[in-house]
Amino acid sequence: MNCVYCELPEIKERIIIKTEYAFAFPTNIPIVPGHVLVCPNRCISKLDDLSKEEFTGLFDLIFQMKKVLTKTFYANGFNCAWNEGSLAGQNVPHLHFHILPRKENDTGVTEYEPRKFLYRPGSREATQEKELKAIAELIKINL
């Protein structure tokens, strides 16, 4: 398997939206409910490899997801991040942006020191596929 985001059936089944240039789906180890990944359709690892059209299309989808996550999860803040390269913590070599809807008293990472946030201290259990698909369907309602 070359790229789990491109080839894994479970990920394809939980895609929330796919546009001409990008797609979004819930991550399997969310920090908070509604934690989604937004990826370019083309399998590239770095932001620099995007064409201008892909860049615009990717960020259009990121902005759209922020609006729909605000509506779906009553978010009043967001953590948005991406890692480039294995030294920066990129485990899947397909560029992807983490979008985390945040609200008062939510769980997950609550300290915003970058090293603690990016390196995910402690262990988190993987969420069952049934729940991930339900999250995808919930978000789709508000597209």
Question: Is the pLDDT assigned to residue 63 strictly greater than 80?
Answer: yes
Q: For tokens 């397909």, what's the residue? A: 94
10 pLDDT higher than 90: yes
Question: Which alpha helices (DSSP H) does 14-51 contain, by range?
Answer: none
**Mean pLDDT for all residues in the chain:** 89
Q: What angle do helix axes 52-73 and 129-141 make, rounded to 10 degrees?
A: 90
The tens digit of pLDDT for each residue in 94-122 reads 999 999 999 988 877 666 555 555 555 55
Q: Say what the pLDDT of residue 2 is.
A: 87
Distance CA 83, CA 114 (A): 12
- Going by C-beta distance under 8 Å and a sequence separation of 6 or more, which residues neighbour residue 33? 73, 101, 106, 135
Domain definitions of the chain by residue range:
4-141
Q: Which residues touch 80 (CB under 8 Å, ≥6 apart)?
A: 62, 66, 97, 98, 99, 100
Active site residues: 96
Say which range, 2-11, 26-35, 87-96, 105-114, has the weakest mean pLDDT.
105-114
The model scores a pTM over 0.75: yes
Q: Is the pLDDT of residue 17 over 90?
A: yes
Confidence of residue 141 (pLDDT cuts 50, 70, 90): very high
Helices first, then strands: H and E counts in the chain = 5, 5
Q: Contact at 8 Å (CB) between 139 and 16? A: yes
Could you report the per-residue pLDDT of 33-48, keeping only the tens digit for each?
999 999 999 999 999 9
How far is it, in rounded angstroms, from Cα 119 to Cα 114? 8
Phi–psi pair at 80, nearest 5 degrees: -130, 130
pLDDT of residue 87: 86
Q: Residue 127: pLDDT band by 50, 70, 90 thresholds?
A: confident
What is the CATH architecture assignment of 4-141? Answer: 2-Layer Sandwich (3.30)
pLDDT for position 107: 74
| Residues contacting residue 51 through CB under 8 Å, at least 6 positions apart | none
